[in-house]
Each structure stands twice: as structure tokens, then as C-alpha cells.
Amino acid sequence: MDLEYSEEEEEFRSRLREWLGKVLPGLPPKPDPTDWPGRRAYDLGWQRMLYDAGYAGLHWPVDAGGRGATPTQHLIYLEETERAGAPYVGANFVGLLHAGPTIAAEGTEEQRRRWLPPVLRGDEVWCQGFSEPDAGSDLAALRTRAVRDGDHYVVTGSKIWTSHAEVADWCELLVRTDPSAPKHRGISWLAMPMDAPGITVRPLRTLAGSTEFAEVFLDDVRIPVANRVGAENDGWRVTMVTLSFERGTAFVGEVVACRRTLGRLAARARENGRWDDAVLRRRLGRLSAEFTALWRLTQWNVSEAQATGGVPGTGGSVFKLRYSHARQELYDTAAEVLGPDALDLGEEWTADRLSSLSYTIAAGTSQIQQNIVAERVLGLPKGR
């Protein structure tokens, strides 16, 4: 067991740090959270800078245009960019973390050439059209229909909770291509251009007041058969490749950010007198142990991924369960530090507290994650 970074890894870190120190001061001001075109432009602009500096698609395979970095280098990248206060992946999330890696793993040469470079260069934004009104945790129950018409699919149905739908160029869409097959076997994965006729995007307001996701209605949308990644009716397997990426290093930057937030919470409590409360102090102390442990668990999982040379394993579900809960606990503690100010939307931690509420739901609810851990890791029998 070794927590020291190698000379190459440290060199990678210092080169990155130097670059970040040079470029970050020149960034344009952050757009208002409600200004979606502004947010898109900002996120894509940052991606373009990464691309020009050779940091785009760091963890992607080289033959997909990525840098083929090791999981540890990717960890360092996420740690350093967060430390330096660099922009988040933002609107590039689906392209870089879901759709891109799926196309890299399952797409044809032509598909990779068409879709991967624009993601890396920061030219195109993707969204994820998986969930439906009647298919959430039971994703395979999805009903959006795709009927073959010559060299096109004609797609009808609706998607929901689609993050970034308003500003996306493409949607990774799961559709039902064989309604008579068992539910996991009749699904296909399509790349849908968001400007195709028949698409209506209706933004949904979250409890935080913002419009982070949307409903997407599909009415006879024609999508070329050539946009299908993987074989017809093999979309479930293709999707699982994507989801395992989602549960890998996705939260590294956030864990670093949480540890910093904890330090700022303590500073605030010392300022406003709440520090005198031993119960609160102890709660903060325990959270410090918690986030240090989560950081170590991340390093453990990354080292494991590096050793097995591949896709992150079930360690991701263990991590997500613990982390999503810890994050909510962090912001509940923040509210305790703030006291009555926790009701002021002008306090940044108030907004963070609200958004933390989605962590035990998005990307597989905590109940579903516990099913996964119990069945796939502990080998308990499947329920009904």
C-alpha cells in the first residue's frame, strides 16, 4: 500500500498546476446560473482551452482521440482542477463522461470520427435521454418507440429529467426497437440531433428554482439508422458501459470541494459564535473524518481500477452510497452553522443544500444502489 505519487505523476501534477496558474486568471467571468446560452458558451470555451493544452479527454483511450492517461493521472487532474478553482465539466458532462466513452467503446470507426472530436474540442454538447415518466429506477421499462422506415427510425415518446436538454446538440437516446422481446432485449441506443423536427423541450423547474433539467417530447422524429451505436436491440448492454463510467471517478472533484467547504464552515462557525457549541464541533470533526475517508476510498478505488486496467468496479456503488449521504450531511451541518441565515437564499450554502438533495436520487437512487451492492457484491438473492 502506497499513497506516494510517482515522479512521473508528480511531474504531471506540477505541469498541470503551472498551466492552471497561467490560464485561470484570464477566464471570462462565470455566467449567471440562469443564463443557459452563457453557461454553454462558458463550459465549451473551457473545454476548448483544455483541448488546446492537450488535457481534453485525458482518460479516454488514445485511439478515440484521448490522452490514454492512467486512472491515477485522471485523479490528479480532477484534484488539481478543483483545487485551483477551474470550471466544472458542466454542459460537457454527458459528452465526456457518458456518450463519448460509449461511442469510443461501442461505435464504428465512422461514428467515432463523427462524434468524438467535437466533444473533445468543445464544439458540441450532449444530453442523456434515458429516464421516462414511467421508467426511472426500472429504466429497462422504457417505452419510447422507434419504428424502422427505410434507413431511418421514426421515434415517438417522451423523456424526462434530461439535464442540459435546452443547450444540447445531441442526445444519447434509449428507444424500444422490439416491443415483443423481454424488456432488456428490445432496446437500442441512438444518437439524436436535438434540432430534428418533432422534438419539443420543456424545461422543468427544480426545487432550487432553476431549470437544470427538462422534459423532451418526441413526435415522429426521424433519426438515421446510421446513428445507432451497437446492434439493434443490444442497447441495454451498450448502456451499461456508459453507466459504469458514471459511477467511476465522477465525484473526485466534489470530494475535494467538500473538504474545502468543511474548512470554511469551521471558519464561519468560529466567526459567528456557533463554535462554542460542542455538539456542532463534534459533528464537524466527524465530517472531517468522513471526507478524509471518502478521499482515501477514492484513491483505493482508483488504484484498483489501475491494477485491473479497466472500467471501475462495484466499488463505485459503495462510494456513491456513502458520498451522497455525506454530502447531504455536510450541508445540513452548514445550515446548523448558519442558524437563521440558512433560510437566506443569498447564502451560497443554502443553494448547495438544496441541490445536495438530488444526490441520493440522480444516477441511481440509494435504494437501487443498495440493491446492487447486496446482489452483485454480497451475492444475496434477487427479490421480486
Partner 1 sequence: MHFQLTDDQRALRAGVRQLLEGRFGRDALRAAVDGSERQGGPALDRELWRELGEAGFFALRLPEKEGGVGLGLPEAVLAFEEAGRVLLPGPLVATELAAATVPGAAAGTTVVTRAEGPLVAWLDAADVVLGDVAGARPVRSVDPLTPLHRVPFEPRPSPPADTAAHDPAGVLLTAAEQLGSAARSCELAVQHARQREQFGRPIGSFQAVKHLCAQMLVRTETARAAVYAAAVTGDPLEAAGARLLADEAAVRGARDCLQVCGGMGFTWESDVHLHLKRAWLRTELGPSAAASEEALAAAL
Among candidate residues 248, 114, 89, 239, the one with its CA nearest the CA of residue 174: 239
- Cell triple for residue 144? 419510447
Which residues, 6 or more positions from 32, have their beta carbon under 8 angstroms from its beta carbon? 38
Q: Parallel, antiparallel, or unpaired: how do β-strands 152-163 and 213-224 relate?
A: antiparallel
Helices 7-23 and 71-83: crossing angle, nearest 10°?
30
- Any contact of residue 374 with ligand FAD (CB under 6 A)? no
Three-class SS of 177-190: CCCCCCHHHCEEEE
Helices 278-308 & 71-83, crossing angle to 10 degrees? 150
Q: What angle do CA 179, 183, 189 make, to 5 degrees?
A: 80
What distance separates the 2 farthest-apart alpha carbons in the chain?
73
- According to the binding rule CB under 6 A, does residue 245 interact with ligand FAD? no
- Residue of 16, 59, 67, 72 that binds partner 1 (CB under 8 A): 72
> Grid coordinates standing for 72?
491515477
**Residues 201-220 contacting ligand FAD, CB under 6 A:** 212-213
Q: Which of 72, 102, 111, 131 binds ligand FAD (CB under 6 A)?
A: 131
How many residues contact partner 1, by CB under 8 A? 53
Angle between helix 252-272 and 71-83 (nearest 10): 30
294 forms part of the interface with partner 1 (CB under 8 A): yes
> Distance of CA 181 to CAs 140, 175, 178, 241, 351, Å?
12, 13, 6, 21, 44
Judged by CB, which is closer to ligand FAD: 75, or 372?
372
Contact 316, 297 (CB under 8 A): no
Binding test (CB under 6 A) with ligand FAD, winner from 147, 368, 373, 374 = 368
Angle, CA of 135, 136 and 141, to the nearest 5°:
30
Q: Which member of 50, 262, 330, 337 binds partner 1 (CB under 8 A)?
A: 262
C-alpha cell at 189: 441506443
**Residue 321 interacting partner from partner 1, ligand FAD, none (CB closer than 5 to 8 Å by kind):** partner 1
The verdict on 365 binding ligand FAD (CB under 6 A) reads yes
CB of 76 vs partner 1, minimal distance in Å: 9
Rounded CA separation 382/32 (Å): 46
> Distance between CA 152 and CA 146 in Å, rounded?
9
Region near ligand FAD per CB under 6 A, out of 12-20, 21-29, 129-137, 143-151: 129-137
Judged by CB under 6 A, does residue 358 bind ligand FAD?
yes
* Identity of the residue, 207 or 289, whose beta carbon is nearer to partner 1 in the bound complex: 289
Taking CB within 5 to 8 Å according to partner kind, which of partner 1, ligand FAD, none is near residue 362? ligand FAD
* Shortest distance in whole angstroms from residue 326 CB to ligand FAD: 18
Which region among 125-133, 247-255, 310-318, 332-340 touches ligand FAD (by CB under 6 A)?
125-133
C-alpha radius of gyration, the chain, whole number: 21
For ligand FAD, the binding residue among 81, 102, 111, 128 (CB under 6 A) is: 128
Catalytic choice (132, 166, 172, 246) = 246
**Among the listed residues 174, 266, 337, 338, the single contact to partner 1 using CB under 8 A:** 266
Distance CA 268, CA 350 (A): 14
User: Is residue 367 involved in binding ligand FAD (CB under 6 A)?
Assistant: yes
Catalytic residue check, 246: yes
The residue within the footprint of partner 1, chosen from 285, 332, 339, 343 (CB under 8 A), is: 285
Interacting residues with partner 1 (CB under 8 A): 1-6, 9, 72, 262-263, 265-266, 278, 281-286, 288-290, 292-294, 296-297, 299-300, 302-304, 306-307, 315, 318, 321-322, 367, 369-371, 373-375, 377-384
Interacting residues with ligand FAD (CB under 6 A): 128-131, 136-137, 161-163, 212-213, 358, 361-362, 365, 367-368, 371
